[in-house]
Amino acid sequence: MKMKNKIFLILSSMALSLFLSSCLTSNTEVIEEYADNSINDVAGVWYRYITTEGGTSTREVLVKVELDGITKTIDKEARKVMIRVAPSESRLNSIPDPARSKMGIDNVAVVVVLPTAARIFPIGDAPKLGTNGDWSKPNKYMVQAANGDQAEWTIHITEFIK
**Which whole number is the average pLDDT over 54-75?**
85
Give the whole-angstrom CA distance, residue 86 versus residue 93: 13
pLDDT value, residue 30:
58
* H or E stretch covering 97: helix 97-102
76 confidence band (pLDDT: 50, 70, 90): very high
pLDDT digits (tens, 9 = 90+) for 3-36: 777 777 777 766 666 566 655 556 555 566 678 9
pLDDT digits (tens, 9 = 90+) for 90-140: 999 899 888 888 999 999 999 999 998 899 999 999 999 999 999 999 999
Q: What is the Cα–Cα distance from 59 to 48, expressed in whole angstroms?
A: 16
Beta-sheet pairing, 150-160 with 80-85: parallel
CB of 126 closer than 8 Å to CB of 139: yes
Distance of CA 107 to the CA centre of its chain: 16
- The correct answer on CATH 2.60.40.4120 for the domain covering 28-160 is yes
- Residue 17's pLDDT is what? 65
For residue 10, the model assigns a pLDDT of: 75
For 115, counting Cβ atoms within 10 Å of its Cβ (0-12 exposed, 13-18 middle, 19+ buried), the class is middle
The residue with greater pLDDT, 53 or 98, is 98
Count CA atoms closer than 13 A to 133's CA, side-chain side.
Answer: 20
| pTM of the predicted protein model | 0.74
E runs forming strands in 25-92: 41-52, 60-67, 70-75, 80-85
What's the mean pLDDT in 140-160? 95
For residue 124, how many other CB atoms are within 10 A of its CB?
A: 7
